[in-house]
Amino acid sequence: MLDKYNLSPADADVDLQRAASGEYSLVFTPASSDATVVNAFRRVIAAFGLSENSARLDGTYGELHAELVRVLHLLPDRRPFDAVDNVNTALMNKVVELADRYGINPCAFVAGIRSEGARSMIQFDMPPQDAAEQTRFGRMLAAVGLTVGADTPTLRGSDEELYDSLQSAIDRAPKARPR
């Protein structure tokens, strides 16, 4: 499962604990404070519906097994994010600029660029955890024609279309304000 999020087993500690009651706990802990590892870790625990403050899944062995199977079947076969080049950097700079306009810390959410042949996509893999930032994040996505929902919000188009869409949203966005 970790490899679908570009994590190696050395990047995250997953500990199965058994209580005297016979219940089990699956506890997820990032093994590094590296931002890439922490962001990927956030996506893993979000797949289980957990938060960083409560990265623990409790239940019987059968319940935990069923939950692992459910999450593994729901996870898309994700390719790693594309290599960084000037075009991807320009697009991600626009994502960061747009987030800043909405008062969102760009480290509070996870987004990345993937290519599909001649077209690209910007996927917003994990929203901010803070309730106030989640509201502003929803407004930010709406500015580019996306909604927060069950699926991963994804902006698709050519590199030029993505850039123009982000720039247009920035032009219409509120002026930058402190977070």
Q: How far apart are alpha carbons 78 and 1 in whole angstroms?
A: 11
Q: Choose the most confident range, by mean pLDDT, from 39-43, 153-157, 163-167.
A: 163-167
Q: Is the pLDDT of residue 178 over 70?
A: no
Region 82-88: what's the mean pLDDT?
A: 74
Give 3's pLDDT tier (boundaries 50, 70, 90): low
- Sorted by sequence, the CB contacts under 8 Å of residue 144 that are 6+ apart come out as 98, 155, 165, 166, 169
CA 90 to CA 85: how far, in whole Å? 9
What pLDDT score does 79 carry?
46
* Number of other residues whose CB lies within 10 A of the CB of residue 28: 17
Position 136 confidence tier, pLDDT thresholds 50, 70, 90: very high
CA distance 139 to 145: 10
- As given in the structure block, the two tokens for residue 119 are 């077209």
User: Which of 135-138's residues contact partners 24+ apart within 8 Å by CB, and which partners?
Assistant: 136/102, 136/103, 136/104, 137/99, 137/102, 137/104, 137/109
Confidence of residue 8 (pLDDT cuts 50, 70, 90): low
Q: Report the alpha-carbon distance of residue 150 to residue 2 in Å, rounded.
A: 21
